[in-house]
Structures are given as C-alpha cells and as structure tokens.
Structure 1
Amino acid sequence: MAQQMSAVFGAAFDALRYEPTAKRIRVTLAGEPVAETDRALLVWEPRRIVPTYAVPLAALTAQLVPVGAESGSEENARSLLDPTVPFTAHSCDGTEFDVVAGEDTGAAAAFRPADPDFADYVVLDFAAFHWHEESEPVVSHPHDPFHRIDVLRSSRHVRVEYEGRLLAESSRPLLLFETNLPMRCYLPADDVGELVPSDTVSYCAYKGRASYYSVPGGPRDAAWTYRDPLHDGAPVRDHICFFDERVDVIVDGVRGERPVTQWSEQGV
C-alpha cells in the first residue's frame, strides 16, 4: 500500500532522531568560542518539531560542567514540543551540563542523550549561543533539510475578515507554502486596511525577523510582515500576512476553516 510521505516522517516522531550535516558549524557564547566542526549532527528529541545541533566532544573549546541530577523523559510528557518549549524540557533520558566559555556560562545549555549513538557528542541549546552555518548567521533554529518554503505569485482572490469586518482584499497575493504548516497568503500593504503596529517580534530560521500588527478592536498580533527578510523569504518583503488561526481568510470565495496550530490561542 502506498504511503503518504508526511506519515512516513510522522512514524518516527516519538523517537530520538538525528541527521549528519556537511556544513561547517561555528558556535560562540558572548564572543567566546564554544565549538567549530564539520561533523555536527542535527538532532530532534522525541516529539520535538525543530532540530538543534549536536557537536563532537572533540570539537568543544568550552568546558562542560555536569548540572547534577540526570534528566529523564518522564519530566516532559507533552505530546508536542514546539519551539516555545524550552531546551531543558528533555523528552529522552540523558545528562545535562552547564557550558563555560571564558567568563560566561550557559546554564544547562548542553545535553548528552543516554544513547550509544551520542557517546561522543553533546547537544547544545540553540537559544543559548550564537551560531553560524559556514559564514552565514542562523536565527531561531538550525535549517532543517526536510523542511522548505516556496513563495509563488498568484491571482487567487483573497479576502480577510474578522467578525464580518473587512480587513484586507487582494487579487495579487503571494502564497507561501511551508512544510507541515498551512498555506499563508501574503498581501501587498496597499491591499490591507488599518492595523495597529505591535512591539512583538519573532524569528524564523528561513524568513528572518517578523514584526506584528493587531486588529483595532480585534485580536492582538493577528498579522505580521518581514521588513528585512532572509534570502529564502525575500519575495514577501513588506507584504502582510494574517493568522488564519485568528481571523477568517476567504480564498476564491471559500471561507477556510481556522487551522489548529501553536499560534491558535495567542493574541486573542
């Protein structure tokens, strides 16, 4: 029987997963070197959506100091570990370490899974350090080789409403397709009505730094834009996208169901 590829990948979701990378990875803490290697592993702990990096112990220039008690998979029973769940919520057995580089310490910023495949490696908390893949800085999390975005020009008619109130309407959207996420409609700013700028920001490993808008009298942080995107997100520069989870997005007259994602409950 044929298998849908997303189901094939999903079958391993509860397992500790890894994938070698040929990229040269450089890690620093407050300007002090932590590691540099071309033998890093991308690592997904069980039920983790996005990866982080493991580096060979031999590539470390920083010091590892055991935190104390070993971490266990029973400490975190959540079924889904999205990027908002901290690194220290480990979902497999292993040992935690502080990372000391110069006068700075990354508290519990390293983890060695209790798995023979990681005997010579340590997993590092992406948020605790500064990272480069080759000479390019990386934000949010490592680039996942099984994850991509496609941005396509479209003539579909897109209408955005909140409780029947028109927020935006366009027949020249850019449609962004991203692995395992809903299709997103990025609209020219001229086709979007009044929104209130927010001081909220977030970071995407593929698109860069996002700035947010709220709907007057409606949900907070309901829309976002990339003013200076990374190269993968360059086509959507200065376009505005709404969370389908928080407002109604109508494409070619069809009102879509609001998807359930990690963004469904925020900003309402």
Structure 2
Amino acid sequence: MAVRMMELFHGSLDALRYEPTAKRIRVCRSGELVADTQDAVLVWEPRRIVPSYAVPITAISAHLVPAGAESGDDDTDRPGRDHALLDPSVPFGNHTCAGTEFDVIAGEDTAGAGAFRPDDPDLADYVVLDFDSFEWREEEEPITSHPRDPFKRIDVLASSRTVRVEFEGTLLAESSRPKLLFETMLPVRFYLPRDDVAVRLQHSDTVTYCAYKGRASYFSVPDGPRDIAWTYHDPLHDGELVRDRICFFDERVDVTVDGVRRDRPSTPWS
C-alpha cells in the first residue's frame, strides 16, 4: 500500500531528529564570534516543527557554562509543554527530550544565552543553540526567524482563479489575478494586488519574520479586525513574487475561490 509523504513526516514528529548540512554556519552574539563551522547539523526536538542548529562543542569559541539543570520528559512545569506540536512561538527552553542545558557567555555579555546538549549518542559532541539569542549566517547570507528546513519549500504561482475575501459578510477583497503561495505543511495563501482590496487598511505595529520570505508587516481594518492581513515590502528571494501584495489570514476570514467557500484552516494562527 502506498504511503502518503505527509504521513511519513508526521510519523516521526515524536522522535529526536537531525540532519547534517553542507553549509558553513557562523554564529555571533553582541558582535563576538561564538562559532564558525562547516560541521553543523539541523536538530528537531520531539514535536518541534522547525529545526535549530547544533554546532560541535569544539567549534564554540565562547564560554559554555553548565546551567545547573537537567531537562527532559519529566519536566512538566514549562508553558507549552502539553502542545501537540511546538511551533516557533514555544520558547527554546521547552525541551522535549533528555539533555543538559548550558549558558553561552560571549565577550562582556554576562547574561548568557541558551544552549542544549541532547542526551543522545549521535549528538553527544554537539550543542543546540537558541536561535533567537544569536546572529546567524549561512555562508555569507544572514538568516532570520529559524534555520531553513531542507525538507520544506515555497512555490509562488500566478493564477486566474477568482478569490473573494469576506469578514462577517463585508467584502474585504476580490481578485482574478492572485498569486498562490504553496508552502510545505501549511495551507495555500492567496496574495492579492493592492488595487483589488476593497477596504481601507491601516498599518499595524506588528512585525513577524519568516525564514523563507523575510519581514512581514501587518494591517488592520479600521473599526474592524486587527492584524487581519500582511505584506512583504522587501522579501527574501523566495518571496520576491509576492512583493507588496496583500494576504489575508484564511483562519480568520471567509475565502471563496471560483464560487466555492473554503473551510477555515486550523493552524497556530487560528
């Protein structure tokens, strides 16, 4: 019997997973070099849906200090511990496998940043670094949000489907020239020309980062829903085809495509 690829991916979510990378990885904190290596690996702790980088302990030029706490499956008092899936909003310190926590002390920065060595023989010589606490480069390119997953990609395709977006019966946008963005394990997103948005949008202070598309700016509808849509003013190369287009949260609005109402997807943004 054939196996659906998505079932293979989801079937391994409860396992500690890793994958070597051929990229040169450089890590800095407060202007100080922490690690420079061509032997990094990507690590997914159990139930984590995005990877973190682990670097060889021997590649770390900063001070690695034991945090004095063991972490593992018996640690039940941390927020997010009971989530079925751990998305990037769940802090790095919520570890879902046994291991040892460290503080990384770089230069005059005495606050330290998180590191974790899983209790696993394949990763015994590595420490996973808290992505948000460091500045990262893959080769010469800075990266944001989290490491790019080699088993995930985005495709942007021009379409002639008619997309209609409503909120509680009010038309927000309608377009027959959308760009459809397909991203592994996420619902299709409809990026619409600004001219096809039917309501006035108000810029929000909310900003998020995507490892594949870059910095997203958000919009609210005056006297209506907040942070209901977003755009990429200066996207990374993978998102160039949706530059300055508007995308609405399918989870929070009603989307009709070619006359057929779509179910609202269930995601971390629902």
Q: TM-score with structure 1 length normalisation?
A: 0.97
Q: What is the aligned partner in structure 1 of residue 50 from structure 2?
A: 50
CA distance in 1, matches of 2:2, 2:190: 31
SS in 2 for 1:110: strand
Asked if the contact 2:113–2:133 (Cα under 8 Å) also holds between the matched residues in 1, the reply is no
Among 249, 253, 256, which residue is 1:247 paired with? Answer: 253
Q: What is the aligned partner in structure 2 of residue 23 from structure 1?
A: 23
Q: Is 2:207 aligned against 1:201?
A: yes
Q: What is the aligned partner in structure 1 of residue 104 from structure 2?
A: 99
CA distance in 2, matches of 1:131, 1:108: 14
Q: CA deviation at 1:107?
A: 3.6
CA distance in 2, matches of 1:202, 1:123: 23
Q: CA deviation at 1:105?
A: 4.1
CA distance in 1, matches of 2:111, 2:38: 22
**Runs (5+) with no aligned partner, structure 1:** none
CA distance in 2, matches of 1:261, 1:10: 15
Asked if the contact 1:74–1:91 (Cα under 8 Å) also holds between the matched residues in 2, the reply is no
CA distance in 1, matches of 2:145, 2:113: 18
**Runs (5+) with no aligned partner, structure 2:** 76-80
Q: CA deviation at 1:74?
A: 3.0
1:59-74 equivalent positions in 2, closer than 5 A: 59-74=59-74
Q: What is the aligned partner in structure 2 of residue 183 from structure 1?
A: 188
2:20 corresponds to which letter in structure 1? P
Q: What is the aligned partner in structure 1 of residue 237 from structure 2?
A: 231
Q: What is the aligned partner in structure 2 of residue 123 from structure 1?
A: 128
Q: CA deviation at 1:106?
A: 5.6
Q: TM-score with structure 2 length normalisation?
A: 0.96
Q: Is 2:19 aligned against 1:14?
A: no
Asked if the contact 1:215–1:222 (Cα under 8 Å) also holds between the matched residues in 2, the reply is yes
Asked if the contact 2:24–2:38 (Cα under 8 Å) also holds between the matched residues in 1, the reply is yes
SS in 1 for 2:7: helix
CA RMSD of aligned residues (A): 0.9
Asked if the contact 1:96–1:108 (Cα under 8 Å) also holds between the matched residues in 2, the reply is no
CA distance in 2, matches of 1:218, 1:10: 37
Q: Percent identity?
A: 71
1:134-153 equivalent positions in 2, closer than 5 A: 134-153=139-158
Deviations 1:160-210 (A, max 9, x none): 000110000110000000000000000001111211110100000000000
Q: CA deviation at 1:53?
A: 0.2
- Give the total of aligned pairs: 264
